[in-house]
Amino acid sequence: GAGRRWSGQLVIGHDGKLLRRPAATEKVPPVGVSKACSSCVRTADVKEACTQCDQFICQNCSRLCSCCNTVTCSLCSTIDYGDVGEQVLCNGCSIFQV
């Protein structure tokens, strides 16, 4: 309904509608999945994953979106050098900035 807020990553269902991805109760990857940071390849804290691409990222490589406060990696965010100074924007928020 109106005023409904989406949080977390959305996926496109088989019917073409946006669905909320079921929230994982634990952010522990399945056996065999790398726990290395997707940016610098150091071991990442298992709890820290990019909200856009779900890749694990370490605290040094993670970026916090200035608009929606979600954690993103360097590939899923841009830095806006606007009038208010440097702002990190996730790919979702950056499309609304002109």
Residue type, 55: Q
Distance CA 37, CA 90 (A): 18
pLDDT at 69 over 50: yes
Q: pTM for the complete prediction?
A: 0.56
Predicted pLDDT at 11: 75
Length of the chain counted residue by residue = 98
DSSP state of 92: H
Q: Which structural domains are found in the chain, ordered by start?
A: 33-96 (3.30.40)
Using pLDDT thresholds of 50, 70 and 90, give the confidence band for residue 66.
Answer: very high
Q: What is the pLDDT of residues 5-60, one digit of tens each?
A: 555 667 777 787 877 665 544 455 555 556 778 778 777 655 688 999 988 888 88
Predicted pLDDT at 47: 63
